[in-house]
Amino acid sequence: MKKGLILLGLILAVCFGAQSDTKKLNQGFLKKAAKMVWNQNLPQFNPNAELTDTIFSDVSAANIAVYYYFSADRHEMNTLRDGRIPPKEWRLGETEAIFLRRYMTKILDEKALEDLSTFTFEPSSQEKIEQFLIMEENNAFGARIYKPDGRVIDVDMKQTLTDGDGKKGKNAVSHKIAIPGLEVGDVLDYFFYTESYFLGNSGCSYTWKIMSDYPSKSFLVEAKLDPSLTTVVSAYNGIKAPYRFNDREGDVCMKWDSDNLPALKVPTFSQPARQLPIMRIEIADNISEMFNHPKSRRSPGVFFNPPVRSTLPAVAEHFATRKWEGADMSKAAAIMKDYRKANPDVTDTEIADATFMATRYVTYLSKDLYTPWDMTSFMKDLLDKQEIESVSYLGVTNPRTDIDVNYITGYSDGTPVLSVAGKHYIFTSNLALAPGEIPPGFCGEPFFKMAGKRKSLYDNFFYTEDRLPKETAAINSAVFDVDVTIEDPDESWVKLSYDATRKGYFKSLAGAIAETSDMVEAYEEKLGIPQKIYIDTKRGIIHKGNRFDKGKIEEEQKKKLEEIYKSDLGIESMDVDSLVIDNFGFNVESPEFRYHIAGRVEDVLAPAGDDVLLNVGRLAQVVQVSEKERNEKKRDISIFTPGPYNRRINVRISVPEGYTVDKDALQSLAKQTTGRTGVFMSQVDYDDENGQIKLTLVKRNPAMVYNPSQWDEFRKLHEDAASFNDASIVFHKE
Amino acid sequence: MKPTDRYHIIMYMLFSIICMPPALRAEIESNIIIPEEHHIVTLFTEGDGDRMRVSKIKHEQNILFTAGRVNEKTVVMFPYDKTETVEKAKSKGEMPEYRKMKRRGLFHDDGQVCLMPVSLVPGKNTEVQFATSTSRPGFGSMIILGEEYPVRLFTITYKMPAALKDRIDIFERNLPDSVEITRELSPNGKEYQIRLRAKDLPELKFDADAPCVRSIVPHVMLSGLFRNVNELYDLIHEYVKGDDPEEADVIAFARELTAGCSTDMERLYIIQDWVRENIRYVAIEAGDLAFTPDRPSEVLKKRFGDCKGSASLIKAMLQAVGIDGRLVWIGTDDIPEDFTAVPSPGTANHMIAAALLNDSIYYIDGTVGPSPHGYYLPSIQGKQTLIQNGDHPLIHRVPVLPPEESTDSVVISGTLNGSAFVGSVTDDVSGYYKALLANRLRWGDDDFKKQYPSRFISEGRKNFMISDVSIFGLEPSEKNATIKGAVRIDRVLTESGNKIYFNPSLYDMKGDRFDMKNRTQSGMRPNICRIVRELHLQLPEGIAVEKLPEGFGVENRFMDASVSYGVEGDVVKCRFVLVWKQRLIPFEDLTAYNADITKMNKALLQRIQLTNSNI
């Protein structure tokens, strides 16, 4: 067997793609897995275990035991599976891994019975490149029921149903089993078992949530790893390090356990990726040389929470290896050339801003799909082509909704960033983001950056650490100027129109409001692109009013409008006459998203004899308290808000003709609550001459994170602000 | 049972990533247009004379698409199942993709879908062809006239041997006046054809809270595949005739369960309650399982089943204790027709059980969870039933229960404490509301169970806080369930000097209005019922009534509603009664109906004027 032939096979495979297939359910494999699991000698799996801890009271179900097991073994491969012998100069390995998740759960009510009465598991699959089996995954599920009277019933897996794709539904996409005979009071012992095989360095990873929806009496994680593989174990958010030792066979073993682990409940105002325990394990065969290895690969061994600097070379290499096909780069370069010609005196910052927009425009309309990594690298190349004086840096960071960048173990864990002349460019799907504007969640986050031409980064691993600018309440602001008109005090509706100005993270709603084609056209105008010349017709770009179902469009519009006015003012229902967008917010000079909405709101004027009450609280709400927040009396973890912000609603109400406003009742609406967790303020002003009432509502959130001990204060501020939501203004008939 | 009707083409966008919702605009014109859509339905027969029967139906679809203004790429979806064979799936330059069709509420079935990509260019037609055949005629012959895009020309041609001329026809519903229908024999007299031709069909649209699709969309079905209900019954009855080798287990269990009962009614109810409490609804409807119930002993052993499974278990358990239990085919409110009008398997989409006892028929739906005795869900009330009865079915109807059978009556009593109202609350519920409460409490986790009674009473009013909740009478044998608790309603007062405006906040009817913007279809309410809200305000010392709001009421075909206010001693009493009398609100009545709701809601917004002599 010649190495050349294998390579030819691989080249063909690259040309024609790997072939991935799912397999029929193999009852023999299910039996084998069940035998292995049921024969485990784990004393924790005792169906009669007492559940005495308070964490087990008032719950739907309780885990008596949870067990995760992972093992991986690498074998040097002297013979391929088809019997052929690979060239001796190759180091080719095959890895076999086992991953087991086993739960023994006592069912305590119908909710748990419903939740645990049906299970779905993945079909087994394999992937081949030509004749080479490069990946195989065999999955099994099994369950047994322990009845209170001592009976033990194994679930007959022959009852498994298979959903499949294909003309006759034969290509399995999932297996399903309904657990027969399960009742409240039973103990269900069930498992998901996977045997994986991979050839060479294809690798695999698993993320484990070290918590369950139910409290767990015993939670045990064990791993047995071949030291010739590269294994990265990451544990975040306060998980203790696993106990590590070598067994007689020289494998690296790890053990992690915890007793009486409470149920996972995600509280309001939290960031699960930063606050809830997660464990992750990734394995790779970095010795085999069948496929291209990244130069930056880790050496064999087990790495626990490796420092980010050991991951940064992989980030650099990923940047360096991006390639552009087709004409997108030349289109973007042409756009920038025209832009520079039309704007000869622009600064480096202005060039970088325009480059960011040109990158977004071209990659967005391209027939190829660009990841943020591609877009960032594309922008870097486009910028380098223009040879500006300012140094640009490629870097990596992460938003607060993801793990801290200091914990990433591969480039794909992070988010790319490009820094130029003190500004930072991050690509997200929100087209309303202005160039250099830090997207929500990234402000104040650390990042690692490096200088140099993109392609030179292969060998340049010298990152410097920096931090993205912190956000302020001024950056994240929303202002709503509302006019309320009572046309007929005998009716129960009012006319309402308002101007909304959203900045910073409040702009995230822009995508829901603005039509993409309008934004694309605005990009063209800003960059001086003759309209639509770069639209790739193959992609079928959608232009105005060009949608598929009238009924669905109407329904979507209604839902989106509901989302908008509810988010703006807390109004539950409004008959909207018009929505006009004044500014998309992607201009550096005017980064606010501005729009105007007008319509009619029903059921807000209440008669009281000859008097009329306007329930203004239903038209202007700066805070709404959810039922979940209201019911969270205790707080154990930090309070994460979206960021510091200012939110302001200015309401103007003309006193209806023939009526006077009750000034005492009006004055009683003025309130203020100030504390360490923010400010709520409602101010009133009455202009006697013009018969106009002015109401100002302000909610200020000064910080992003608060201590758990501040929860009561935090909630009180919200409740005080929400108390305005029932406020009324009284008008007396003259 | 599975709905076998064919909602034949649904479209969706392939590149949804670039299809952000559009801003509000007055008129939206579809870019995609169907210049022509042709259906040919060919009926094949076997046997002669009276024995002739339709043995196979082939359905060919030929659809032309074009784009009106700009390029667009879409995917056409053709659903089918294992009773059908896909004979053709073609779109120029594209390969069809076959996927599993996921249907809501079904754990497993055999629904598949053929996805056909279509690239559209303005001014050019793209043809899509799809053909299926079935050897189970009668299990799905519905064709909807129209698409989600405008159709310029739509034709259907039914072809069959001339011998079927006096037997097979079409059943039509909601067809526009412009549809031309012709029936003729071929020149050689061998073939009989029924042709439909429609021009300029607008996009199909489904308004929110509209009646079922079949009662609003224009569609046709073959009629005569079953000469009458008896012939339909002959077929579907075959599916339920299987023996249960382990029926002894069911008999023993049923007898043990009912051992303490002294009457058949007690036995009936204890069996009904046990099945509803203990048999989980898991629908497995692939192949014959769509029509054949699981064996009663299997359902009993597994503790789960679909509607047919629970019905067959109920029937077997009833028979085991000497009650005449039967299976019942029924179409829920998703199907507007009666079996007698449209004798087709597609007229049924559900199975329940019945007990024939003391000259009465008691229906038992095993899938509804804990529900009060004698109560039927709105979805089956008034629906025609086909009751298993030897060789000839019984035709009957589920009774329509009066509104009083589903009552939700809340009485709140208390006084003022600062700007809040504090006191106690009692909520008595029956019928629909009791079933809702019992089911929600049963299927919720502990946190939900704690919060739900409060949510149930608060009805979305955020200033309501209910505590110290206790619930009685959840057992199905009790007609009413009662929630009792302490209530605090914050910010009920607007104060000005010594004047107080009290907001009794009895009920909010705004959710009962139908959105009329671009609406073209009738409205459908969820149920008929009676709602009562009472608030008794004990006036604190120094506070007196200055003026009570005026009472008000509206009556129309659909509802009776009234609100009244009075004073008894130092207690202000407010009472609101609402009776929903009819579920269907025809389109032509919707504006007047909404106006009545608005008037009634305005009356409910009224404030009570009080004076405070303590100031």
For the segment A708-723, the average pLDDT, to the nearest whole number, is 96
User: A547 and A612 share a domain?
Assistant: yes
Over residues A256-289, the pLDDT tens digits come to 999 999 988 889 999 999 998 888 888 888 888 7
- The CATH code of the domain that includes A27 is 2.60.40.3140
What is the nearest CA distance from A554 to chain B, expressed in angstroms?
8
Block residue for tokens 């822009």: A510
Question: Is the same domain home to A624 and A705?
Answer: yes
What are the distances in angstroms from CA B307 to CA A254, A536, B273?
A: 50, 52, 15
Last residue within a domain, chosen from A244, A278, A306: A306
As a whole-number percent, the residues of chain A with pLDDT over 90 amount to 61
Residue A396 lies in a domain: yes
CA distance A461 to A449: 10
Please tell me what DSSP assigns to residue B391. B
A233 and A373 both lie in a single domain: no
Listed in sequence order, the residues at least 6 apart from B561 whose beta carbon sits closer than 8 Å to its beta carbon are B509, B553, B554, B555, B576, B577, B578, B579, B596, B600
Among A253, A276, A306, give the residue marking a domain's end: A306
Residue A472 lies in a domain: no
Instruction: Calculate mean pLDDT across residues A564-592.
Output: 91
**Residue of A548, A552, A577 for testing the chain B interface, max B β-carbons within 10 Å:** A548
Report the relative pairing of strands B126-134 and B53-67 from DSSP bridges: antiparallel
pLDDT of residue A89 exceeding 80, the answer is no
Could you give the percent of chain B with pLDDT greater than 70? 95
- Structural contact between residues A651 and A727, judged by C-beta atoms closer than 8 angstroms: no
Instruction: For residue range A599-651, list pLDDT tens digits in order.
Output: 999 999 999 999 999 999 999 999 999 888 988 988 999 999 989 999 999 99
Same domain for A77 and A226? yes
A138 and A25 share one domain: yes
- Tell the burial category of B390 from Cβ atoms under 10 Å away from its Cβ (0-12, 13-18, 19+): exposed
B569, pLDDT greater than 50: yes
Question: Using a CB-CB distance cutoff of 8 angstroms, which residues of chain A are in contact with residue B448?
Answer: 111
Cα distance between residue A236 and residue A278, in whole Å: 5
Compare CB distances from A540 to B73, B149, B286 and report the shortest one's residue: B73
Of A163, A167, A603, the CB nearest to B86: A167
Question: Average pLDDT in the A514-540 region?
Answer: 67
Give the domain range for residue A695.
477-733
Q: What residue in B sits closest to A112 (Cα-Cα)? A: B445
As given in the structure block, the two tokens for residue B279 are: 């048999």
Banded model confidence at residue B67, pLDDT cuts 50, 70, 90: confident
Residue B17: per-residue pLDDT: 24
The pLDDT tens digits of the residues spanning B474-517 come to: 999 999 999 999 999 999 999 988 999 999 999 999 999 999 98
A396 pLDDT band, cuts 50/70/90, is very high
The answer to whether residue A613 neighbours chain B at the CB level (below 8 Å) is yes
Residue A443 lies in a domain: yes
Q: Look at residue A311 and tell me if it is in a domain.
A: no
Residues A387 and A410 in one domain: yes
Residue A461's pLDDT is: 63
Q: Do residue A58 and residue B446 have CB atoms under 8 angstroms apart? A: yes
Give me the pLDDT at residue A6, please.
39
With beta carbons less than 8 A apart as the criterion, state whether B139 and B57 touch. no
Q: Are residues A149 and A176 in the same domain?
A: yes
Q: Which of A640, A639, A642 is nearest to A708 (CA)?
A: A639
Of the candidates B196, B172, B176, the one whose C-alpha atom is nearest the C-alpha of residue B184 is: B196
Contacts within 8 Å (CB) and 24+ apart, A334-341: A335/A361, A335/A362, A335/A527, A335/A529, A335/A534, A336/A382, A336/A385, A336/A386, A338/A528, A338/A529, A339/A527, A339/A528, A340/A386
Percent of chain A exceeding pLDDT 70 equals 91
Taking alpha carbons only, the member of B425, B551, B540 closest to residue B493 is: B540
Tokens read off for B331: 């179409």
CA distances B258 to B272, B504, B541, Å, are 11, 49, 58
Task: Find residues 104-123 of chain B whose CB sits inside 8 Å of chain A.
Answer: 107-108, 110, 112, 114, 119-120
Query: Mean of the pLDDT values across residues B239-243?
Result: 91
Residue A561 lies in a domain: yes
H helix intervals, B369-507: 431-443, 446-458
> How confident is residue B106, by pLDDT bands cut at 50, 70 and 90?
confident
Work out the pLDDT band at B14, boundaries 50, 70, 90.
Answer: very low
- Chain A CB within 8 Å of residue B13 CB: yes
pLDDT of B462 reads 87
In chain B, what are the domains? Answer: 10-225 (2.60.40.3140), 235-400 (3.10.620.30), 404-612 (2.60.120.1130)
Residue at A312 is within a domain: no
**Arithmetic mean of pLDDT, B125-149:** 88
- Same domain assignment for residues A537 and A684: yes
Residue A294 lies in a domain: yes
* Rounded distance between C-alpha atoms, residue B377 and residue B363, angstroms: 11
Average pLDDT score over residue span B96-108: 82
* B146 contact partners, CB below 8 Å, separation of at least 6: B154, B201, B202, B203, B204, B217, B218
Task: Indicate whether B105 pLDDT > 80.
Answer: no
Give the end of a domain, one of A306, A326, A345.
Answer: A306
pLDDT of B239 higher than 60? yes
Q: How far apart are CA A474 and CA A478, in angstroms?
A: 9
Contacts with A672 (C-beta within 8 Å, 6 or more apart), sequence order: A679, A680, A681, A682
* Per-residue 3-state assignment (H helix, E strand, C coil) for A201-215: CCCEEEEEECCCCCC
Supply the pLDDT for residue A82: 66
Residues A29-48, mean pLDDT to the nearest whole number: 96
- In a shared domain, residues A415 and A513: no
pLDDT recorded at residue A454:
83
Question: A156: burial class by Cβ within 10 Å (0-12, 13-18, 19+)?
Answer: exposed
pLDDT tens digit sequence for B329-355 = 999 999 999 999 999 998 999 999 999
pLDDT at A712 over 70: yes
- Tell me the average pLDDT across A426-451: 90
Q: Are residues A380 and A456 in the same domain?
A: yes
Report which of A191, A155, A197, A157 is spatially closest to residue A69, judged by C-alpha positions: A191
Helices B446-458, B431-443: axis angle to 10 degrees equals 150
Q: State CA B306 to chain mean position distance.
A: 17
Higher pLDDT: A1 or B144? It is: B144
Highest mean pLDDT among A227-241, B2-16, B252-266: B252-266
Residues 107-126 of A with CB under 8 A from B: 109-114, 117-118
Where does B14-150 show beta strands of DSSP type E?
32-46, 53-67, 72-80, 84-91, 97-100, 108-109, 112-120, 126-134, 143-144
Q: Is the pLDDT of residue B125 over 60?
A: yes
pLDDT at residue A240, rounded to an integer: 83
3-state helix, strand, coil in chain B (%, to 5): 20, 40, 40
Name residue B455's amino acid: R
The domain that holds A648 is classified in CATH as 2.60.120.1130
Contact A367, A446 (CB under 8 A): no
In a domain, A379, yes or no: yes
Q: What is the ipTM of this complex?
A: 0.88
Number of independent structural domains in chain A: 3
Higher pLDDT, A414 or A90: A414
DSSP state of A130: T
- Note whether A288 and A393 are same-domain residues: no
Whether the predicted pLDDT of B3 surpasses 90: no
Query: A386: domain CATH number?
Result: 3.10.620
- In total, chain A counts a number of residues equal to 734
Backbone angles phi, psi at A350, to 5 degrees: -65, -35
Q: For B112-132, what is the mean pLDDT?
A: 89
308-327 in chain B: CB under 8 A from chain A = none
Burial of B486 (0-12, 13-18, 19+ CB in 10 A): middle
Query: Is B329 within 8 Å of B385 (Cβ atoms)?
Result: yes
Judge whether residue B429 has pLDDT over 50. yes
